[in-house]
């Protein structure tokens, strides 16, 4: 029987899929004693949802997921400790697969073709879908999208939802985003990110700053950065906007590991009109924006009269750090 997994969208972008079907092993699972004693065959179909464009562009297995490893993991669970329910097997497989950094969602189908049913039947199948918001995993703690190290359960809604950052504005509001990167074709990545933002329902790009270059601050030795800021209007909640930024980062191969390490793309929320405060995953305005020349200098060039809460004139603040930033391209993008 052909099985096609439904698409999985992150921030309005449909992810790619890798499917491994018909993974077979004998397991000792079931409610009845003879099922555990004798064992029986189990079959698993698996689809993982992730972005493979980075792996395809570089022909690099390390930038995708190894489907041989996935199959071995599944067999390890099927032949491992006994459980009563097929549902439990499916859940254990899903959580194990979601441990892979690049996997955003997984569909699992567990077949039990020799289930002890006293009538004629073809198969018993349990199908589940789990993603990073429903798996019992860990998420990054962030201000904007600046990564901290993993600390928080990925049960996203129970841990952080329900505060002011989940309140939808009555009408579209203005927000400022800071973009940067120092790995790969950075200018092309930043340009693609601007276009991706503008394609997401509820976000409209109004203007972009010049592109600037700056040396990395902290972290391991790494290339210089290219940065820009983008003015948008949005009908999304701040947390929905944050999720959209994370989705675009992920599609462009962002990996969150070493603090202040190099990255293909980083999108921080600097400010959202009408929102002030702090939560576990978001602080507005961004508490370090006033220290960052790569934010202040392009922002002042884009909006000379801009004001930042707690700082005042962005142009005056930019003058104090302008020495650390070089204008790389103005106007930018070359073609919006």
Q: With helix as H, strand as E and coil as C, how does 59-101 read? A: CCHHHCCCHHHHHHHHHHHHCCCCCCCHHHHHHHHHHHHCCCC
Tokens 């601007």 sit on residue: 194
> CA quadruple 319, 321, 326, 327: dihedral positive or negative?
negative
- Catalytic pick among 111, 112, 130, 142: 112
Angle between helices 67-78 and 86-97 (to 10 degrees): 150
141 part of the active site: no
The SS3 of residue 284 is strand
Residue 55, classed as helix, strand or coil, is: helix
Instruction: For residue 153, give the DSSP letter.
Output: E
CB 46 within 8 A of CB 106: yes
* Cβ–Cβ under 8 Å, residues 21 and 3: yes
Tell me the Cα Rg of the chain: 24
Active site residues: 112
């Amino acid at each position: 029987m052909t099985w096609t997994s439904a698409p999985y969208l992150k921030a309005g972008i449909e992810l790619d899929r890798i499917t491994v079907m018909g993974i077979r092993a004998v397991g000792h699972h079931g409610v009845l004693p003879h099922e555990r004693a004798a064992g029986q065959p189990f079959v698993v179909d698996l689809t993982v949802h992730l972005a493979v464009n980075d792996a395809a562009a570089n022909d690099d297995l390390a930038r995708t997921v190894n489907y041989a490893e996935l199959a071995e993991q599944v067999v390890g669970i099927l032949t491992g400790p006994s459980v009563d329910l097929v549902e439990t097997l499916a859940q254990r497989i899903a959580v194990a697969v979601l441990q892979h950094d690049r996997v955003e969602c997984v569909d699992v189908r567990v077949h039990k073709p020799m289930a002890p049913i006293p009538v004629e039947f073809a198969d018993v199948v349990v199908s589940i879908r789990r993603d990073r918001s429903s798996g019992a995993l860990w998420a990054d703690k962030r201000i904007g999208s600046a990564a901290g190290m993993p600390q928080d359960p990925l049960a996203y809604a129970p841990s952080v939802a329900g505060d002011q950052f989940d309140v939808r504005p009555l009408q579209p509001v203005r927000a400022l985003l800071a973009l940067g990167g120092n790995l790969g074709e950075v200018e092309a990545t930043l340009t693609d990110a601007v276009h991706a933002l503008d394609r997401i329902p509820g976000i409209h790009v109004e203007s972009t700053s010049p592109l600037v270059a700056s040396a990395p601050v902290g972290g391991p030795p790494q290339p210089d950065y290219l940065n820009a800021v983008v003015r948008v209007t949005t009908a999304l909640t701040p947390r929905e906007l944050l999720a959209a930024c994370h989705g675009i980062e992920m599609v462009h191969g962002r990996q969150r590991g070493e603090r202040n390490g190099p990255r293909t793309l980083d999108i921080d929320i600097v400010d959202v009109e009408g929102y002030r405060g702090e939560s576990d995953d978001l602080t507005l305005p961004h508490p370090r924006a006033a220290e960052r020349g790569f934010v202040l200098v392009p922002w002042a060039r884009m909006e000379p009269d801009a004001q930042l809460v707690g700082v005042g004139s962005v142009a005056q603040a930019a003058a104090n750090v302008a020495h650390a930033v070089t204008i790389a391209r103005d106007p930018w993008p070359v073609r919006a």
